[in-house]
Structure 1
Amino acid sequence: MKQYDVIVVGGGHAGCEAALAASRMGCETLLFNINLDSIALMSCNPAIGGLAKGQLVKEIDALGGEMGKVADRTAVHFRILNASKGPAVQSSRVQCDKQLYRLTMKSVVERQPKLHLFQALVDRLLVEDGRVVGVEDQTGVSYGAKAVVITTGTFLNGLIHIGMAHYPAGRAGEMASLPLARNLSELGFEMGRMKTGTPPRLKASTIDFSRLERQDSDPAFEPFSLSTHHLREERLPSYFGYTTPETHCLIRDNIRLSPLYGGIIKGIGARYCPSLEDKVMRFADRQRHPVVMELEGLDTEEVYAKGLGNSLPLELQEKIVHSVPGLEEAEILRAAYAIEYDFVQPTQLQHTLETKILRGLYLAGQINGTSGYEEAAAQGMWAGINAALAVQGRPPFVLDRSEAYMGVMVDDLVTQGVDEPYRMFTSRAEYRLILREDNAALRLTPRGFELGLISPELQEQISGRIQQISEGIKRLSSLRIYPGVNVNSKLEQKGSPAIKNPLSLFQLLKRTDFSWDDLALFSDLPDFPEDLAACSDRNVRKQIEIEAKYEGYISRQREAVARMKALENRRIPPGFDYSAIPGLSNELKTKLSRVAPETLGQARRITGMTQAALAAVLIIIKKWEQNGKAPFPAPAHSE
């Protein structure tokens, strides 16, 4: 039996990041995929990033991951979402050449030292004494490993629905993973059933784009990756249209043909991303719904018809498509469909994404009840890192909610579990003002360097940037302007109110009508630093300006983080008996026992937890300590 340090099952977005992280950290890694030609396939929309998702991509890159790099190399449409709002909720999104993205990532994976690829269907896990020791494929061949990462996406017991017809598949054209789903259930994992879907793909030459609203790329766009210096010059537009009353009538009159409404589909879909038949039935007062046409690449006729996702019969899908202005003659190249698949309830995972039932087994991506390429990639990298660290006998890698969006996501999953496909939102991050896209590198590159995923040169560059920001804030805070004709005339020239008291340039930068470039108005001050005025690093300038304008809010969030850390440092001993605590409801006792929170902070975030219940748990812990037991040490990831 061939032996590896880490085996990764599934070569989607989670699997690629897991395998790359483990191999780059020095582990001999084997990546399985049912079809090697579908590695990193964009099975749904041809886009990377989006609201809160852009933050995840930047964090993956800051830690040394690959998604941002490949997105930059293959992007053909660029947008900054929420550009008119504050920096905490701004997010980048790119539309990629779908096939070029797949081929580029496949090339990276194939050329990675210590990473081995093999095309096979994994049927079961090999287990000894409560630990995973390898896997067995469909031909009966076994492969040994010290750690296994499962990233099976929608393939676990996958079932595709088009009208009343349904058939097993992981996605259109690929077989489902049935034995592995049974194996996980037999091993004692609590399984659930999710549902997602994808819209039809249309032929571009049959669409009348003149009847749709065109949207071009934003003129200025920051790459996802720290290593990207130039973006592709080729650009593709997107187009916007709308459904019509005819569309809605077609769906209402034929809703009996939807497996979603006919009771055939049992899996739970996402409320925030409903199918078209769901939109029409749930929002009957809406006269129209948006439809977005995204071209899937530079050398293909396929167009992704976002907003037309459904599970209706093909002949009805054609009528629905033709009811949209501009699509009257559109040909469907690939039918829309819904897909059901199994997932593992993520409360059965530790914060490292290692399972509580089996040591050495890690889960990442849609198997954990999440949706989205970015959420999957972030979990894949997280699980791959921790699998490698465990193999090497090093401390685990865990980011808390104040350190990264991916820390928020993982904590949400393992603490609260899921009752619908989980998607990252900025609203989920309570410290989003300090977890911005623009400072992901400053927050996480040092951690990536510690893991061996970031080069010394890049780490030195980021360290220098951090120092420049700190020094810039100090220098601007020390430079003062004073009321007078000369100063106030310059402010009036800029359209900014005159000052009546001395003011530092840093305080002046707090004004909404004052930017970094406006500091040049005072370059004639005797002690104005020329090197600061001429600072060429736009990232440094941007960070200083954000720190100035949001100083009060940022300070309050940092204070909140300090309070949160106090709870995170109060460890709950393993095997803590919640059933013996008076005052807790039976529901809370069950939830606490199932999740087995590591800290009071994690316990506080369990759904339904109250301050009174939290105080009751703390009282028992203190009694344990007073009875002569040593205080429980802080968890390793709280540093």
Structure 2
Amino acid sequence: MFEKEYDVIVVGGGHAGAEAAAAAANMGSKTLLVTMNLQTIGQMSCNPAMGGIAKGQIVREIDALGGYSGIVTDKSAIQFKMLNKSKGPAMWSPRAQNDRMRFAEEWRLMLENTPNCDFYQEMVNGLLVENGKVCGVKTSLGIEVRGKAVVLTNGTFLNGLIHIGEKQFGGGRAGEKAATGITEQLLDFGFESGRMKTGTPPRVDGRSLDYSKMILQPGDAIPEKFSYTKTKTLKTQRDCHMTHTSALVHDLLKEGFDRSPMFNGRIKSIGPRYCPSIEDKINRFADKDSHQLFVEPEGWNTVEVYVNGFSTSLPEDVQFKALRSVVGFENVKFFRPGYAIEYDYFPPTQLKHTLETKLVENLYFAGQINGTTGYEEAASQGLMAGINAHLKLNKKEDFILKRDEAYIGVLIDDLITKGTEEPYRMFTSRAEYRTLLRQDNADLRLTPKGYEIGLAGKERLKRMEEKQEKSNAFIKFFEKTSVLPEDINPILESVDSALVKQSDKMVKAFSRPKVTMNHMLQLKSVSAFVEENSLDREVLEQTEVQVKYSGYIAKEKNNADKLHRLEDVKIPENFDYSKLKSLSYEAREKLEAIRPVTIAQASRISGVSPSDISVLLVFMGR
């Protein structure tokens, strides 16, 4: 069946596996994607959405390098929102609701149209390893497939165990069996493994909900998109809604706590801190009488609805009774109950920055096998593993992104240098240089690198260079062009900004806090420049950020330099972190447990942010 030897074999067809296969194949490697079910390639196992805080930046970065996630998201989106627009541009984060079925379909079709990419449906239950180097995989039917490099992207399937109340059964996802054999073999090779937990909410019948009692959550009036290619923006969108739990709902849920696998000891592994189950929220935040629930449609035409915020592993009867007490859910019908799943992972400190394992040559790990959570985090790791597998086989230099170059660089560096004992999720606060790592400039940062390694095509590079040239020209226009008081003062007056008495360069007025690009476009000379040079929304946004935030960017670089110079500041022994109320709860918890000796060591602890380090430095008079 497999006469030829593949260059790269990718095990698993989730977000990590799909990106790994696409990257390796597009760079020229003969690639085989082996998965247990070809109908679930790119499956959204949990919420039907891509992006969000910091995650949206990752999707843009994947796209800028030449990956597929941004394109697939745009093609299957049903709603788009730019989050955090009230904050600075470093915090702006794109997020899309997606049609779950179309998302998986688009991934499958894009991979099928990728040269060099073959497919095979079966469980891989072993690796072929000779002299410390991987040389293929073995399937459950006993078939051996030879390959020069293997990328493992097993998600939650490695010895997966599903929990619903007191019931538990093997599975990697509802309705799909767990994968066995790989963990045991890796342990024999000397790898260290652990267990993690994640969960998912019930899916319900949208026809049984009363949306009139909920708060409408529409998409942006002028939606953007993820990909820097010529994908289309949404013309129509589907609404989401919001409702809340209540004290009554919490009391009903508490009735099942004695049968909860989280509280009766059945689940011993750690779940995602920032995406807790509803029972965990009630337990941890006992002072709160309600929590938000986001009611998200699963697609354009389906009536299935995802209840975001109600992740649970409580017994199905408890889930149902409690959810029926939520406003708008009084007559709810279940499609399927929520559940928790435990699975094997391998602490990522066992990897190199290329995501190749230290113990077995040419073997790469990507996604939840490394202890991360989230589609976006998984996809970015898959992309980097696929890239580096191809580069190594072709004796080319490793492709490693630095922390000041991409969120992907922050993610991988955190995993490799700090490890993680709980499911790792990306946040803007994890990046020291987040003003540099914005969603609007991912193409400027990364497309030249993607082109250089042979993944991003010439058309992408050309579009990026054109955007940069136009933006630079527009910035120079603002710096060189003067504006008269009678032209600029009406704009300044409209935003309660001090009026000017003489003509001055436009850039000075534009740099004022409340003055936006839309205000500047009211000036005839500006609108004429835009029209003459055919400047699109991307160029306008890039120009505005560069003009208005250049000082912040310079300040951030300066602060980073200072932080580097103070790396060796010692922390007193038995230091009492509870005295520092400005530290985040997670930072205090981690610092107390690990007791770092220096600021440098503290800064490498997962969950201790740059702002937490600043608090420590200020306290020490530095």
Instruction: Give the TM bin, normalised by the shorter chain.
Output: 0.7 to 0.9
Instruction: Give the Å deviation of 1:401.
Output: 0.5
1:539 positional shift:
1.9
- Residue 539 (structure 1) aligns with: 538
Q: Could you tell me how far 1:82 is from its partner in structure 2?
A: 0.9
- Give the aligned length: 576
Partner of 1:326: 328
> What amino acid does structure 2 have at the position aligned with 1:542?
E
Post-superposition offset of 1:30: 0.4
**2 CA distance for matches of 1:454 and 1:189?**
34
Gaps of at least 5 residues in structure 2 are 574-593, 603-622
Q: Using a 3 Å threshold, how does the CA distance of structure 1 residues 362 and 547 change in structure 2: closer, same or farther? A: same
Distance in 2 (alpha carbons) for counterparts of 1:515 and 1:546: 10
Q: 2:557 maps to what in 1?
A: 558
Counterparts of 1:106-121 in structure 2, within 5 Å, are: 106-121=108-123
Match of 2:469 in 1: 467
Question: Using a 3 Å threshold, how does the CA distance of structure 1 residues 554 and 30 change in structure 2: closer, same or farther?
Answer: same
The 3 A distance-change label for structure 1 pair 25 and 489 is: closer
Question: Rg larger in 1 or in 2?
Answer: 1
Q: Distance in 1 between matches of 2:206 and 2:56?
A: 28
State the 1:205 CA deviation: 1.4
Provide the secondary structure at the position in 2 that maps to 1:280: helix
Distance 1:293 1:92 in 2: 19
Deviation at 1:290, TM superposition (A): 1.2
Structure 1 gaps, min length 5: 569-582, 586-605, 615-639
In structure 2, what residue type is equivalent to 1:281? N
Q: Secondary structure at the match of 2:195?
A: strand
Aligned amino acid, residue 515 of structure 1: T
2:22 is aligned with 1:20: yes
Distance in 1 between residues matched to 2:51 and 2:601, nearest whole Å:
39
Amino acid at match of 1:30: L
When the two structures are superposed, what TM-score results if normalisation uses the length of structure 2? 0.88
RMSD (Å), alpha carbons: 2.5
**Does the C-alpha gap of structure 1 residues 70 and 256 become closer, same or farther in structure 2, counting only changes over 3 Å?**
same
Percent identity, aligned pairs only? 45
Q: Which moved more, 1:99-108 or 1:236-245?
A: 236-245
Per-residue deviation, residues 509-553 of structure 1 (Å, max 9, x unmatched): 1112323344456657xxx89535754222222222111211111
> How far did 1:455 drift?
1.9
User: Structure 2 residue aligned with 1:196, among 183, 195, 198?
Assistant: 198
Deviations 1:184-218 (A, max 9, x none): 11111111110001000111111122222222211
Tell me the CA shift for residue 502 of structure 1.
Answer: 6.4
Q: Does 1:415 align with 2:413?
A: no
Distance 1:360 1:520 in 2: 54
Structure 2 CA distance for partners of 1:331 and 1:393, relative to 1, 3 Å:
same
What is the letter of the counterpart of residue 261 of structure 2?
A: P
Could you tell me how far apart the structure 2 residues matched to 1:491 and 1:276 are? Answer: 48
Q: Tell me what 1:46 maps to.
A: 48
In structure 2, what is the equivalent of residue 82 of structure 1? Answer: 84
Structure 1 residue 249 and structure 2 residue 257: aligned?
no
Q: Give, as a single letter, the amino acid of the residue that structure 2 aligns with 1:91.
A: S
Q: Distance in 1 between matches of 2:156 and 2:64?
A: 28
Map 1:457-606; keep pairs closer than 5 Å.
457-481=459-483, 491-492=492-493, 495-499=496-500, 503-519=504-520, 523=524, 531=529, 534-535=532-533, 536-559=535-558
Preserved CA contact (<8 Å) 2:293 2:307? yes
Matched, 1:140 2:142: yes
Take 2:44 and 2:106, find their aligned partners in 1: how far apart are those partners? 12
2:223 and 2:233 in contact (8 A); partners too: no
What are the Cα deviations for residues 142-200 of structure 1, in whole angstroms up to 9, with x where unaligned?
11111110000000110000111111101111111121121111111111110001000
The runs of 4+ residues in structure 1 deviating greater than 6 Å are: 484-487, 562-568
| Structure 2 CA distance for aligned equivalents of residues 25 and 139 of structure 1 | 31
**Alignment partners' CA distance in 1, 2:598 and 2:369:** 30
**Aligned residue type for 2:224:** E
Alpha-carbon separation, structure 2, partners of 1:169 and 1:2: 32
Q: 1:205 to 1:505 in 2, by over 3 A?
A: same
AA matched with 1:217:
G
The superposition leaves residues 570-596 of structure 1 with CA deviations (integer Å, 9 ceiling, x where unpaired) of: xxxxxxxxxxxxx999xxxxxxxxxxx
The yes-or-no answer on 1:392 pairing with 2:391 is no
Once residues 490 and 125 of structure 1 are traced to their aligned partners in structure 2, the CA distance between those partners, rounded to angstroms, is 67
Residue 468 (structure 1) shift: 2.3
1:403 matched residue in structure 2 = 405
* Aligned-partner Cα distance in 1 for 2:490–2:374: 53
Is the alpha carbon distance of 1:480 and 1:120 closer, same or farther for their aligned partners in structure 2, counting shifts above 3 Å? same
- Alignment check: 8 A CA contact 2:323 2:332 kept: yes
Closer, same or farther: CA 281–495 of 1 in aligned 2, 3 Å: closer
* Greater mean alpha carbon deviation, residues 535-544 or residues 429-438: 535-544
Worse-matched range after superposition: 535-544 or 258-267: 535-544
Mapping for residues 20-419 of structure 1, pairs under 5 Å: 20-419=22-421
Counterpart code for 1:549? K
Deviation at 1:81, TM superposition (A): 1.1
> Given the superposition, is the C-alpha separation of residues 325 and 518 from structure 1 closer, same or farther in structure 2, using an over 3 Å criterion?
closer
Work out which of the residue numbers 571, 575, 598 in structure 2 matches 1:610: 598
Judged with a 3 Å threshold, the aligned counterparts in structure 2 of structure 1 residues 473 and 542 are, in CA distance, closer, same or farther, namely same
CA separation of 1:236 and 1:492: change in aligned 2, threshold 3 A: closer
> 1:541 and 1:64 mapped to 2: Cα distance?
23
Larger displacement relative to structure 2 (539-548 or 272-281): 539-548
Is the 1:365–1:379 contact (alpha carbons within 8 Å) kept by the matching residues of 2? yes
Q: Secondary structure at the match of 2:181?
A: helix
TM-score (normalised: structure 1): 0.85
**In 2, are the aligned partners of 1:347 and 1:415 still within 8 Å (CA)?**
yes
Give the stretch that moved more between structures: 444-453 or 370-379.
Answer: 444-453
CA distance in 1, matches of 2:275, 2:390: 35
Instruction: Specify the code of the residue in structure 1 equivalent to 2:35.
Output: N
* Partners of 1:427 and 1:520 in 2: CA distance: 33
Structure 1 stretch displaced more, 385-394 or 230-239: 230-239
1:476-502: CA deviation from partner (whole Å, max 9, x where unpaired): 2233457x6776577547753223676
1:223-242 deviation per Cα after TM superposition (whole angstroms, max 9, x unaligned): 10112342344422111111
Q: What does residue 583 of structure 2 align with?
A: none
After superposing the two structures, state which structure 1 stretch, 336-345 or 215-224, moved more.
Answer: 215-224
Asked if the contact 1:74–1:232 (Cα under 8 Å) also holds between the matched residues in 2, the reply is no
Q: For residues 523 and 92 of structure 2, what CA distance do their matches in structure 1 show?
A: 31
Contact 2:521-2:527 at 8 Å conserved across structures: no
- How far does residue 350 in structure 1 lie from its aligned partner after superposition? 0.8
**Mapped contact 1:207–1:327 kept (Cα < 8 A):** yes
Q: Which residue of structure 2 aligns with residue 632 of structure 1?
A: none
Change over 3 Å in CA distance of 1:59–1:609 after alignment to 2: farther
